[in-house]
A and B are shown apart, each in its own frame.
Chain A
Amino acid sequence: MTTWTNWLGNESASTTELHEPLTTAQVVECVERANYRNQRVRVLGSGHAWSPLVPVEGILLSTKRMRAIRSIDAAQRQLTVEAGATIRDVVAAAGAYGLTVNSPSMFLGLSVGGVIATGSHGTGRNSATFGDEVVGFELVTPDGSVVQVSEPGSDRWRAMLCNLGTLGVLTAVTLQCHPMFNVHEVHQRVDRGEAAAVIPTMLAEHEFVELFWVPPAAYVKFKLGNRTDKPPSPVRGRIHPTLGDRLMAATGPVLPYVASVPGLVTPLANLVYDRIGTGTRIVTAPDFNHYNQAYPLCISSEFAIPLEHAPAAWRWLDTRLGRYADAGVRPVTLMVHARFCRASQGFIAPSSGRATCHLEVLSFKGNRHRHLFAEDFETKMRTEFEGRPHWGKELYNPAAAAKGYGANLDAFLEVRHELDPTQRFINPFLRDQVFGLARRPRSTRARAATAA
């Protein structure tokens, strides 16, 4: 029996075995062994998800040793990496060939497999999820066979784009890269009350838009960017952490206490905003994307809402959190963060089928007021703004999480059932609370697959 705990310590699992295979062949061996012993399997990425996607009573299969860059096709600008490689590995490998990847997560320590599984994303008008950049998947299916999924647009490919680790073990992916480009980065502070109104303008004028607010600070910060041909200036502390980053990480446990002192909110907001960046400069795309290496112990909740709802949703957040602040309550102690992306093709990617604003609230771990707001946030985003929660972040209402996908969810579950009719790769949380499989009649196709 092995105990696994995620990075924050809010999720843990006691499993029979934890395997760390090095090759696809070893993954196949593990899956076959699980089949032989009739055990459930879940795949581990870097363990950064807040939601209970991992816990299972069975075998945990970590891809952390599968980090090889298998090949780079410079002509096609395609990079094939193993699923355990981190975003940092990918960014560095692509960079060495003058390439960059689209929509990587801001934090570089996440595994490629985990980022794809949860439909994670970066920011940018031309970016969907990181998974949408994949042109080929190598998958060890629940029956132990190795298949290539490389028909973009097919049902199986669309299911793979955000798969929650329920289709088998993703062992490698081929990513479509792009020529390295530079970004003209601009940081702009806007009065809190005006932020919602200027969002459309910012989106119209900039390819990359991010919005930060440390409530109840009086102003918000826009991080804006447009492509440029001008040469970049070197920036410290982006892809590779500086001493300052490491110190920030070390002071992480102190921040919640600092944040709880009302008089220190403004200095803290300044500190946070400054760490994100200041002024104007030209940077490479990776330097633009990966601006923060110190991730304090916090809990994040994120909803993907249609782009057109972004101003109204931001306005609601501003008002609601402002009211809490007036009452002396701070349910969001770190920040509110918005990113803007194009539609994903993934069946159950939160940004599936629509240009999206990803609205995220982050609180330090241990904030006792967090739950006061979490329900408000979840209900409002879901019911009024058609929000879909980020799978890897806190799922406050798991039963409602899958409801916003309509026919896409059925299509995803059909593919899943085809690949995993015995439900070996799905954990009870996803099966019972999120998908409610035991309350869904089996489709004819699924029944036929089971019978076969």
Chain B
Amino acid sequence: MVQYDRTFAPFVVPATLPMDLDSLPDARWMAKVLPNQVRGVVADVFSHVVDRMPDRIRRAGAGRMLEQWFRRLVPEIPGRIPTLGDAEFAYQRFAGINPVTVTRARAMGDVPEKLRLPDAMLSPLLGSEQRLAKRVLCGDIFVQRYDALRGLSSTTLQGGKFAAPGNVLLCHAPELDAPFEVVPLAIECPVDRADGATAVFTPLDGSSWAAAKLLMGVADVHIAELCLHLARGHFMLAPFAMAMRRMLHPRHPLHEFLLPHLRFNLFVDLFAWRSGVRETSGILIRTLAGNAAWAQQVTKTEHTNHPYSDIAFERCLERRGLLDDRFDYPYRDDGRLVWAAVQRFVQAWVEHTYPSARTLAADAPVHAFLADAGSPEGGNVNGLLRGARLDSREELIEILTHVLFDAGPLHSMSHYSLAAHLQHVDESPAFLRDNPLAVATDDREQVFGTRRSKGQLGRVHRTYAAYDRLGDYRGSALGRRADLRPMIAAYQEELRIVEAKIEQRNLGRLAPFIHLLPSRLTNGASI
């Protein structure tokens, strides 16, 4: 039986990897992943050569020629959201690598103190006489906090790297001539040390504003990687993957149902923990700014701050005040379509498998599975069940939809959008050498040394693989069940319709958001 390892508590990871065929990578996984290992090596060699090339030679065309050859071997990862510009900066909060933390300010108290802009400061930013309190009342003000990154200091930062927490203030202002209806108003961030004094910058602050945006870009990469991708995409699913193996027989219908979505979790999570996050030399921590202890702490905040049900799709939107659709919020709008399709599929399966509440109540292994996943002695999923025991089919539908959505769409969105974002090492603000606000304007380029890319490009390409496609159950026990085929076909048809709707939406957006297109999503976190 799989045993829990609690060294990364409150998360659990498997103490050892089960040696059964359902837990180990199969030939298909190898076939998908191995070419990317080769691409990763090519990317590393390319980075190594280009980064060490004298500037003059690179500019003379040698760099471009190498890049062209590199692109023939390693194709571009699609879906990068532009980063240049203020509209793009605002759009990133709603469609970028981390679209799940921006929050509507319901009262002035929700706005960080330093970002409560006086009228004289706010009005030029919005082109007319304005009062922040009034815009807050209208529900136009949004705040993105990077509080989770607090704790960064000279002792927790890796040598030669820099990142800092901060707060971003945004306003929904459709009356302005901006290509996205939400515009950034101000950023509060440290001007020197990561844990030092902060100052407020606005779009009228020229190069300081650009530097503040870069700092927030770096913060965003850290939140996206640690809180969204690792915590929610991997480690919050590990308890379910372990409980499934511990409490459900491989032929149990729920095991069959969950396996395509949780199949590689133990293998990937164990690898992510041991080789990626446990030590500062880990492959993941190396590409971030803080050390391993700090990164682990940040990852854990996602577990400790919110009960599991609070991070379910709609609940999370509600908590952040973003349920209404006054403007295009690609993560919410596309996510709703995908969530609804997943939910209908789960509902069809639950109703098919458990025709009545009584049949569900009588299925002891299901209750044992949920109890094990939610118990502090087991998987420690915080607030998994409403009561002491699963009380209805609706609750099961809710839980399973959440698990399937996080394992597939949410993980895919996070993983592949990060890959697309981080592949452009030369313009990615992921790795700063110093606080750009603390150096003279002329020297700011120096804080983005090209060697920062070391390892980043290779890692991005090594892990850019997709095992399957959302709704595709070929080769699994679920897919072989004749009685479930109509249900799966209906699910696939719905996903096709969702795909077309999102593609249509993307034509009118500031930039296409492709990371919730069903064709780009997988069933589970397989990488």
Contacts and interface: CB of A to CB of B under 8 A. Distances in A.
Interface of A: 1-3, 5, 9, 14, 16, 36-40, 55-58, 371, 397-399, 413, 417, 422-423, 427-429, 431-433, 436-442, 446
The 7 closest A-B CB pairs, nearest first, are A428-B85, A57-B82, A438-B178, A428-B84, A437-B177, A423-B179, A432-B86
A442 B179 contact: no
30 contacts: A1-B67, A1-B76, A2-B64, A2-B67, A3-B67, A14-B424, A14-B426, A16-B76, A37-B512, A38-B508, A38-B512, A55-B84, A57-B84, A398-B206, A417-B177, A422-B179, A427-B84, A427-B85, A431-B85, A431-B179, A432-B85, A432-B86, A433-B206, A437-B176, A438-B183, A439-B126, A439-B183, A440-B176, A441-B127, A446-B177
Between B59, B173, B177, the greatest number of chain A beta carbons within 10 A of the residue's beta carbon is seen for: B177
B523 interface: no
B302 interface: no
Nearest to B174: A442
Contacts of B178: 437-438
Contact of A38 (B80, B206, B509): B509
A438 B176 contact: yes
Contact of B63 (A3, A55, A399): A3
Given A14-B426, A428-B86, A442 B176 contact: yes
B124 A439 contact: yes
A441 B175 contact: yes
Nearest to A368: B442
Given A14-B424, A38-B509, A399-B204, A438 B86 contact: yes
Between B427, B442, B506, the greatest number of chain A beta carbons within 10 A of the residue's beta carbon is seen for: B427
A101 B198 CA distance: 57
Contact of B203 (A9, A36, A39, A438): A438
B128 interface: yes
Interface in B110-136: 124-128
Contact of A438 (B76, B82, B177): B177
Contacts of B507: 36, 38
B206 A399 contact: yes
B59 A9 contact: yes
Contacts of B71: 1
B499 interface: no
Interface in B190-230: 203-204, 206
B322 interface: no
B83 interface: yes
A389 to B, nearest CB: 15
Contact of B84 (A3, A36, A38, A56): A56
Nearest to B82: A57
B88 interface: yes
Between A9, A57, A371, A442, the greatest number of chain B beta carbons within 10 A of the residue's beta carbon is seen for: A57
A431 to B, nearest CB: 6
B177 to A, nearest CB: 4
Interface of B: 59, 63-64, 67, 71, 76, 80, 82-88, 124-128, 173, 175-179, 183, 203-204, 206, 424, 426-427, 442, 506-509, 511-512
Nearest to B426: A14
B65 to A, nearest CB: 11
Given A3-B426, A428-B82, 9 more contacts: A1-B424, A38-B506, A38-B507, A38-B509, A423-B179, A431-B179, A432-B85, A438-B177, A439-B127
Contacts of A428: 82, 84-88
A428 B82 CA distance: 10
Nearest to B202: A439
Contacts of A427: 84-85
Nearest to B59: A9
A265 B437 CA distance: 37
A414 to B, nearest CB: 10
Contacts of B124: 439
Between A55, A422, A432, the greatest number of chain B beta carbons within 10 A of the residue's beta carbon is seen for: A432
Contacts of A9: 59
Nearest to B206: A399
A441 B76 contact: no
Nearest to B64: A3
Contacts of A56: 84
Nearest to B204: A399
A428 B206 CA distance: 13
A444 B76 CA distance: 41
B177 A442 contact: yes
A239 B424 CA distance: 42
Contacts of B59: 5, 9
A428 to B, nearest CB: 3
Given A1-B71, A1-B76, A14-B424, A440 B179 contact: no
A52 to B, nearest CB: 9
Contacts of B64: 2-3
A388 B447 CA distance: 32
A153 B442 CA distance: 43
Contacts of B177: 413, 417, 437-438, 440-442, 446
B179 to A, nearest CB: 4
A36 B507 CA distance: 7
A439 B67 contact: no
A323 B82 CA distance: 45
Contacts of A413: 177
A16 B67 CA distance: 13
A5 B508 CA distance: 30
A9 B173 CA distance: 37
A422 B508 CA distance: 8
Contacts of A5: 59
Given A38-B511, A55-B84, A371-B442, A14 B204 contact: no
A417 B179 CA distance: 11
Between A1, A5, A40, the greatest number of chain B beta carbons within 10 A of the residue's beta carbon is seen for: A1
Contacts of A36: 507
A439 B203 contact: yes
B87 A441 contact: no
Contacts of A2: 64, 67
Given A3-B67, A428-B84, A441 B512 contact: no
B507 to A, nearest CB: 5
Between A371, A413, A423, the greatest number of chain B beta carbons within 10 A of the residue's beta carbon is seen for: A423
Contacts of A37: 512
Contacts of B511: 38-39
Contacts of B125: 439
